[in-house]
Amino acid sequence: MLRPLQATASRCALAWQEPFLLFESRHAEAATLEASARRYAERLAGLPG
């Protein structure tokens, strides 16, 4: 399912990153959302550039 996106990233000389997913976010508790937001921020901070 992600192959077309991976191919596009490759053709554009972009580094492919695995998707960041949070299932059932509308039902998640505040602590879960905050923890996910921290993990996402850490992941973004670790990207090159």
Q: What is residue 26's predicted lDDT score, i.e. its pLDDT?
A: 95
pLDDT of residue 1: 86
46 closest CA partner among 20, 13, 21: 20
Average pLDDT over residues 8-17: 94
Model confidence at 20: pLDDT above 80: yes
CA distances from 39 to 5, 7, 32, 33 (A): 23, 26, 11, 10
Mean pLDDT computed over every residue of the chain: 94
Report pLDDT for 48. Answer: 81
Give residue 19's region: left, alpha or beta (phi > 0; psi -120 to 50).
beta
Statement: residue 49 has pLDDT above 80: no
